[in-house]
Amino acid sequence: MCLPLVLLIYNAHLQINESIPFINQFYMKNYLFILLITIVSLQVHGQRIQTDIFNDLQYESKGQKYKATLKKDIFDNLIFSDNNNNEITYTKKYLDLNHKGLITDEEAKLSFFGYFINRYSSGRDYKAKYDVDIFDKVIVEDNKNNRVEIGEDIFGNFTYEENRNNSKLSIKRDLSGNLEFNSEKEQASLRKDIFNKWSYKDSSGNNLEFSNKSWRKLMQRHGSDEEVFYYLVKKLLLF
């Protein structure tokens, strides 16, 4: 399971209590937007970013009111921190699984750092960690008691579980391969019948059946049934 770089920086989400997207191609469709943000950020901050003797990145704002660093620790974890007491940690195992070249790619690190500066210079006391457990499940958690788990079930199917603001939600496949969304208040499903016809249904009363032509268009646009499902849930149920 490889999650692209925009998982780290998409949607200014690095506070887990904001909405976290979780399907790979959905990230990629927003990649140009992320690049625009980082380019603007680098134009604003670039002249004040320096590299120290350990090849870590440092930033000081005009007047030195805001300071930040992006460094690699002795365990090869990548850590952003600033004088606002914010700290975002990406463990080596997480980086190896999803972004193996990030630590050695100076351009990527610079863009990464520029985004963080732009994102956190006005915030305080936020801490988050991106890790991978012994089952290769991605674990994202913060100091606000929010937690996300992204992995696979015993059949190799994608799973997503989120505990946010004391509310839980999940996306999983059932034994028949149908996709199911569950939260404390809403439910939704995406199913394929014996005639290969797809249908979507949710607890808000939405019930859609897709022709083959409509389904092909959705797949061309979103890339997979998981992403089609996420799009429908977000548009029809969680709007």
Determine if the pTM surpasses 0.85.
no
Tokens 């496949």 belong to: 173
pLDDT per residue as tens digits for the range 63-107: 788 999 999 999 999 999 999 999 999 999 999 887 777 777 888
Question: Could you tell me the residue ranges of all domains in the chain?
Answer: 6-142, 166-237
Task: Decide: helix, strand or coil at residue 225.
Answer: helix
Max distance between CA atoms of the chain, in angstroms, equals: 67
pLDDT tens digits, residue range 33-51?
Answer: 444 444 444 444 445 788 8
| Residues in Cβ contact with 10 at an 8 Å cutoff, skipping those fewer than 6 apart | 21, 27, 30, 34
Residues 27, 6: contact at Cβ < 8 Å?
A: yes
The ranges of the chain with pLDDT < 70 are: 1-47, 239
Residues ≥6 apart with Cβ < 8 Å to 15 = 123, 126, 128, 142, 144
Alpha helices, DSSP H only, in the chain? 6-9, 24-29, 31-45, 92-98, 106-120, 212-222, 225-232
H-run or E-run covering 212: helix 212-222
pLDDT of residue 12: 30
What pLDDT score does 112 carry? 84
